[in-house]
Amino acid sequence: MSTSEYSPPRELENERVAVWRLDQFRLLGFSDADAWELAASRADLHLVRSLIAAHCPHHLAMRIVL
């Protein structure tokens, strides 16, 4: 058997990543709705972390990355 038979389906992996991203945006203080929007987008989590760490307001950080 090849190792590919043991890897999770692509959809499951994508779901895990989306949930992890959602949790990360929530931990940064975004509302559930905003965290979902960010998690579902191609927003750069590292950039968002940097903006929030620099005291950028959440609504402005969203405008920058979306």
Q: Tens of pLDDT along 4-36?
A: 566 678 888 999 999 999 999 999 999 999 999
Instruction: Say what the pLDDT of residue 38 is.
Output: 98
| DSSP states along 20-54 | HHHHHHHHTT--HHHHHHHHHTT--HHHHHHHHHT
Burial (CB < 10 A; 0-12, 13-18, 19+), residue 49, is: middle
Provide the whole-model pTM. Answer: 0.83
* First vs last C-alpha separation in the chain: 43
Instruction: Say what the pLDDT of residue 10 is.
Output: 86
Instruction: Say what the pLDDT of residue 5 is.
Output: 67
